[in-house]
Every structure is written in structure tokens, then in C-alpha cells.
Amino acid sequence: MAKLHGLARTLRKSSTSAAILTLDMTQSVSGLYSGASKTSANVPVTLRPYQIDCIEKSLDMLEKGTKRQACAYIYVGGPASLPVGSGKTTIFSHLVPRIPAPNPKATKTLLLAHRTELIQQAKDTLKSSNPQLKVDLDEAKRTADMDSDVIIASVATLGRSETNGGKSKRLLRYDPSLFKAIIIDEAHHAAARSYQRILEHFGAHKSETNVFVWGCSATVRRHDGLGLTNAFDGVVCHRDIIDMINEGWLCDMKVESVSTDTSLDGIATGYGDFVVNQLAEKVDNPARNNLVVRQYINVRDNENRRSTLVFAANVQHVKNLERLFQESGINAKGVHGGTPAFERRNLMQDFKAQKFPVLINCGIVTEGVDIPAIDCVILARPTQSSVLLQQMLGRGLRTYPGKTHCLVIDMADVMSSRARMATVPSLIGLDPAFDLEGLSLKEAVPKLQKWRKDVPSILDKATSFSEAQELARMQNKDPTELWYKPFDNPFDVANLDEEAWELNQLSRHAWVRVGPKECALAFPQKYYIVISQKKNGQNFQAVKHHTRVLVGKGKGGGPLFVTRKDLILEHDTLSYAIRATDTYVRRMRLSKCVLRTADWRKKPASAAQIQVLKKFKIQAPKKGWRTITKGQAADLITRRRLGGLGKSEDVIRKRRKEEKAKQRLDPLHGVVDTVSKSF
């Protein structure tokens, strides 16, 4: 026992600072106790830095007492797990021999997978990485040798329930006391009852387990919303897919959106996604299927795509697409759950070897399939599940010689609420319908991240990358520049609209300019927040002006009201002062009533508002008072009450003095100015 722990510590220390980890696999794990001889040859294995980091963190967490771990990363736009193509199988293949046994007897490892392809892939990788280990399979008619170091088992085989509700006979063959670890591939399935039945048998369904449980996945979220806390107590590795693309571990990705006339409205939702049969009835139609084929031919001819993977809705959809591709002279093959195992294996191998260019599937090539040559993915099957979308996209993210990026063709159907859809833009925090306009993630994401950090409102408004770029260009021009200029008529509704457009670039709240370098936000019948520059001409202050505060009795015995002022914050620029005040307003939960888009602002101005405007002698708009809204009226009243008229008159007087001074210095100034205005 001490010998094994010492080896684990030595390996961890020796690899912590290394860029490349080389493991000398000369002994089987069980041989550490039995005195088994070394294998005939050393097996040096090179791991990527993030794989080393994942293994080290897992072992450190285990040493500190966390025995049920999920290996995950944060996907751009939301939580997920180790990216597809990141080498999950490689990671656990090198983790297995380094897991310390809790006692000399418990040296075996059970690896759980739920599909034949995953089981075979895990065996091949484990044997390649650990030739000294005895690895066997337990699936369907194949029964594992219990003397093996590692057993890779089918969850369907071990986890099924007998007719009396008890454990399967195959599961009862396993002695829990002989196992040190359970590895779960595609761990987002671990909440299912079949997995839980196996974990319960080993006593690994609770945190106080003697068996180490380690799960890895392309996502630790589930389609059906079931939590994974029953299987795992901690998440180990966090990895950003954009970083992996930038570092060259994954290839880049471009998205091309193709509009269809197919409506998805009316399709029911179950477990977080479209009900498959209803979805297939909608999307499996001749016009849309022909569009899929035409789009493929277009990119094949213009971009020389060699390996295209198509995702269909159901088996019939696979067959219909396969027929259309073949009728168009394209050697396309279909694969689905009903395809015999040997035929499915042969199809996968031939597609991987690029013996035919198009593979159409449903529910088969979403997990654990390693075909790095795929350079085009067609999403003929829409989804509301970001989990499923990530799995589909991931099939094309593996690197391959000569492959610069993977093209994703998204068949964009009609839907009244696109917000429910999972698309590549939605995965990176954008509106699902946002058009990346053919830019790759590597090209687009750095700019998108900068805009999101500097001016989030840009990405709330823009519907395409070019539109966002234009808004950003305009944003480089200070949106408060207008406020530093005088206004000749502060009570012109047209001026309000112009300023509202400028303000929309900066804030969602209904700020009103009340003077040069000064603006206000009115809270009806409560108070104003006024931002203005300090007298020293430096920082800007946000001050809350309480409308009327009772402080006692006046000289005549009546109530005495004053306007109380409270300093909220101070900032060096007007723009930042507005943003900081917006944060204050949101935290005080006052934002809803002062939004520029609030419903009340869109309604016609009330009779009481119009009466106040007339009292202030504000000139009516050309088309009459009935043409202005409550929001516009409120802004005009705010500007008048906070001295907009006087400030405007001061500015005009100052401007006239400047003009007279120029004319004294240059008698021709006025003439030149008049002539220039005539052109």
C-alpha cells in the first residue's frame, strides 16, 4: 500500500513542471503487490499539457478525499465539460494505472460505456497506452475474465433490472472489494437508473464510497434535466474550447446558415428538446431535403469538402436523405440504431478511411466517435438542446492534416420564437439567429468578447457580425459627445429622439440631457438622479435629488419641504458615470420603471402631462400634443424642471458673445460664414 502511494506521489511531483509527461508502464497495477515481472518493453506516452493538468488535479482531489469526480470544462457561453476531440479516452487511459488502490486487494478498474463503438474505442486506447494491463470486455454474449486488470462493460448488460426488480446476474459476478475505481465514459448519462444500479452494487452511489468514481464527457449536462449529484461530488478540469482552438488542439469552425421554409411551430417539447417523431414529420419533407443536398453540392464543388457528416431527425429521415444524395450521384451512406453492428462498424471504418464522402446518421455519431477527417457537418436536425448541439458539432472539431477548419451548415427553419433554439451563436452567448456571416470562431470570438466587455448593448441589438461591427465603430465616437454641445431648443421632440438614439448606445434607461455635460434619470413621484461635472471641471458625480422632503414647519406655521441631495458615486468620465449609475439602479431593483422600452412610455401623453407642458409654455409639436408619448412628455418635463431652459439660454448668450468677439478680431468672419452656409 505504501509502495503504491509513494509511486503516485513520485509520478505527480515529476510531472507537475513538465510540458510532456512520459509514463514508464513496466508493471501491471496488480503486480505492484504480487511481484509480477516487468513487461518486455517500456511504453513512453506523450500527453498534452491540459491532459497532464487534468490527471494531476484528479489525483490531488482524490488524495484530499473527493472520491467521485467529473472531468469538465466551461464551454463558451455556458457550462459543459472536456471538449469533444480533447482526448477524454486518452486521459482516463493514463489515469487508470495511477489511481492508488485503497488496499492490496482492490486493484481492478471497471470502465462503463453505453454503446458498442465506445466500448471498442476504450479498449483500443487502453491497450495502446497500457500494453502491460489485461483488458477484457463484458457486453452481450462476451463475458469478461474476472482476473483482468480492467474490464470495459456495457451499461445495458450490467445495469439492466431482472424481472423481479433485482440486479442482473452479470452484475452479481462482480466482487466490489476487488475494485479500486469505476470510470464512466460519457458521464452525463450517469444519472440514469441503469448506471445508478451499478454504482449501488459497488457502494459508489454515495460520497463515502471506497471505490474511486471518475466520469468524463463532452458535457456534464443532460438532455432530460436530471442532475448528476447522485454520481459525482466535484468537477475537476475546466477547459475553454476557444483556448483549445487557439492552441491548436482543436480545429477552427465556420458556420453557414441556410434558411428554409419549414416551420417548427407547434412541435411539442420533451426533456428539453423537440419530440423526435413530431420533429421528423416537419423537417423530413422533399423541399427541405433537396435543399440539404443542393447545399452540400455547392460547398463540395466550391470548397472541396471531402468528409461530410449529416445529422438527421430519425431513421426514415436518414433513408430519405440517403436516397436523394444517391439520386444526385453522390456516394452517401446512412447509419442508424437499426443498422446491424458489423455493418455499422464497417461503414464507420470506410468513412474514416474516406472511401465515401457523406455519412448520414441519427443518434449514432454524437458520442465518442473519432473520425478526424470530417471537415463538414450538416445540421439537418434542429435542436433546442445545447448538449446535443455540442456533441454534433464536436464530430468535426478534431484536427487532421490539411484541415484548417470545419464548416457547419445549419438548416435554419422558421420558428416564431428562435430564442428556444440551440445554435452555434447561442453557444457563445449570442441570439440564436445571430449571423456570423461565414467568419470562423477564431476570427469572430475575440471581437465579440471585446464588445461584450466594453459595450454589452451592441450584442443585444445587432443581428449580424457586420451590424455589430458598425455599432462598435459608431461607439468609438463618444456617445455622450452630443451632450457636450449646446441645444438651441431644448424642448423640441425631434431633439429628444436624436438624443434617445445616442443614449441607446450607452444605456437601456431613460436618461435625459438637461444641459451640456449633464443628464438626469427621473423616477416618477420619487426623485431624480442627476449626473453633472464638478465645478473643478474634472470628475462627474451622480447625485440623488429627493423631490420633496418634510423637515418641519415654515415661518407661517405650514409644512416646510426641502430638496435633499445624496451623493451616489463619482467617476472620471460621463460615460462611465452613467454605466455605474445604471448598475446602482439595477441593484436597487428600480430598473424596470425607468427603462427606455417600458410599456408606459409608449402610451399617448396624459391630459395631466400636457397641462404641465402648457403651463411651462413649451411649444406644441407641429402635429399637436396628441402625437407625443408619455415617455417624451416625461422627458420634456424633467428637462424643464431641472433647468434645461435656463441652461440653454446661458449657452446661447455665451455663444453670441463668442461670435461678437470673433467679428471684432476678423471683420470678414461673419461674411465668410454667411457665404459658406449658402453652398
Residue 118 cell numbers, joined: 465506445
Would the pTM of this model clear 0.75, i.e. be above it?
no
| pLDDT at residue 2, rounded to an integer | 40
| Residues 256 and 236 reside in one and the same domain | no
What one-letter code names the amino acid at 270? Answer: G
pLDDT of residue 672: 33
Residues 317 and 374 reside in one and the same domain: yes
Task: Enter the DSSP assignment of 161.
Answer: B
- Are residues 174 and 274 part of one domain? no
Report pLDDT digits (tens) over 309-365.
999 999 999 999 999 999 999 999 999 989 998 999 899 999 999 999 999 999 887
User: How far apart (Å, rounded) are the C-alpha atoms in residues 204 and 195?
Assistant: 11
The residues facing 360 across adjacent strands are 310, 334
516 and 393 in a single domain? The answer is: no
In a domain, 201, yes or no: yes
Which residues of the chain are modeled with pLDDT < 50?
Answer: 1-44, 73-85, 221-227, 479-488, 645-648, 651-652, 667-679
Angstrom distances, CA of residue 432 to CA of 39, 233, 387, 460, 463? 54, 33, 15, 12, 10
Closest by alpha carbon to 347, among 155, 116, 152, 83?
A: 116
Looking at this protein, which amino acid is placed at residue 236?
V
Q: Could you tell me the residue range of the domain that residue 263 belongs to?
A: 251-433
On whether residue 87 sits in a domain, the answer given is yes
Q: What is the pLDDT of residues 445-480, one digit of tens each?
A: 998 988 888 877 788 778 888 888 877 776 665 544
* Measured distance CA(168)–CA(202) in Å, rounded: 14
Q: How many domains does the chain have?
A: 4
Question: Do residues 288 and 214 both lie within one domain?
Answer: no
In-domain check, residue 15: yes
The residue with cell 459525482 is: 232
Q: Are residues 140 and 284 in the same domain?
A: no
Burial zone of 556 (CB within 10 Å; 0-12 exposed, 13-18 middle, 19+ buried): exposed
The pLDDT of residue 406: 96
**Angle at the Cα of 5 (from 4 to 7), degrees rounded to 5?**
65
- Say if 38 falls within a structural domain: yes
Residues 631-660 as b/e (b if ≥16 CB within 10 A, e otherwise) read bbbbbbbbbbbbbbbebbeebeeeeeeeee
Same domain (yes/no): 277, 227: no
Strand partners, 405: 252
| Statement to judge: residues 539 and 518 lie in one domain | yes
DSSP of 257-288, one letter per residue?
EEEEEEE-TT--EETTEE-HHHHHHHH--HHH
Given a contact cutoff of 8 angstroms between Cβ atoms, the answer to whether 233 and 66 are in contact is yes
Q: How far apart are CA 62 and CA 239, in angstroms?
A: 20
Shared domain for 268 and 315, answered yes or no, is: yes
- Mark whether 235 and 345 lie in a shared domain: no
> Cβ(56)–Cβ(16) under 8 Å?
yes
| Residue at a domain's end among 203, 222, 243 | 243
Q: Are residues 116 and 157 both part of a single domain?
A: yes
Domain harbouring 131, CATH code: 3.40.50.300
Domain contains 305: yes
Residue 476 CA, chain-centre distance (Å), reads 27
Look up residue 182 and give its three cell numbers.
469505476
Q: For residue 216, what are the β-bridge partners?
A: 71, 185
Say whether both 267 and 207 belong to one domain: no
What's residue 614's pLDDT?
A: 86
In this prediction, what percent of the chain has a pLDDT beyond 90?
Answer: 34
Say what the pLDDT of residue 216 is.
Answer: 79
